[in-house]
Structure 1
Amino acid sequence: MSFTLRSLFIVAFGSLFCTAAWGQNTAEGDHPPALLPLASEPAPKIVAYAPLAEPLARGVAIIPFRTENLRIMPVFGTAAAQVSPRLGHLHVTVDHWPGGWAHTSVDPVIVNALAPGPHKVLLEIADPTHKIMTSTTVDFVAPQRKADEQHAH
């Protein structure tokens, strides 16, 4: 029983000490804010990979990508464009369609129901105000599917 009370006292005291120390340091300004004003940072880059073969055989393009010098997040507006590390999202356009979408996560880009044949997916890095910073295009060919595979789920 005394072991349990002693352990509980140590945890409670530690929590109180850490909370007081954290509040003291943040009040004194010893810690930087979570987001810093944007300074001179290297330009963002995007690296996209070929779609995964198995889903592509079913007419689904799963396109893995990575970014450098930019974090993909669902944030928008002029204030978000001024923070460091740099924040942004992707604009995705398929086969020069007039419409596209904003991709706001680090998950692969997924395009469904592709017809057999050649396709182009344009991936543009945009800042939180939708200003395009850089881009890359992924070219690939969706293979012809057998009639029974087209209706299988």
Structure 2
Amino acid sequence: MRLAFKHLATATASLVFCVASWAQTGTDARRPPAVIPLASEPAPKLVVFAPLADALARGVAIIQFRTENVRVMPVFGTSAVAVSPHLGHLHVTVDDWPGTWAHTSEDPIILVGLKPGPHKVLLEVADPSHKIVTGETVVFTVPETPGAKAHRH
């Protein structure tokens, strides 16, 4: 019985090697890699949703978004620009403040401690070299809540 398993294992290994050798022909070595060239990929798209109303009533803006044709990741540098599919991150600007920050995940943007009144948040998709590809602005108002202070984190 032990001898039969040994021969079966040897035959199986030979068959796997034979199939693997047959699957790799000389023409395969000359084929281009199975990736989509960046020039043929659709442009990145950003879809931004209004802040969640329940949280906004407490002075917390939770801004959900989704991207198409780009993955939001903490990857930077000019060599990452050529990666397929597209990689990028978001530049976030609140109320025309001169500074921005890089948001590097698909998690929602959460802003805490906003004063009551109108606000606008600019979300821009940037490639790994920080070149802006597309952007959207979300405008909202934090309601005045009598007797309540803005939520502090």
Larger Rg: 2
Equivalent residues of 1:51, 1:61 under 8 A apart: yes
1:74 Cα offset (Å): 0.5
CA distance in 1, matches of 2:103, 2:58: 22
Provide the identity percentage. 64
CA distance in 2, matches of 1:80, 1:110: 27
1:79 aligns to 2:79 (yes or no): yes
TM-score (norm 1): 0.75
Aligned match of 1:103:
103
Structure 1 runs (4+) greater than 6 angstroms displaced: none
1:40 Cα offset (Å): 2.2
Cα gap change, 1:63 to 1:150, in 2 (>3 Å): closer
C-alpha RMSD of the superposition: 3.2
Cα gap change, 1:83 to 1:150, in 2 (>3 Å): closer
Write the letter of the residue equivalent to 2:108. P
Matches within 5 A, 1:103-122: 103-122=103-122
Write the letter of the residue equivalent to 1:124. E
Q: Which runs of 5+ in 2 are unaligned?
A: 1-11
What is the aligned length?
A: 136
1:60 Cα offset (Å): 0.7
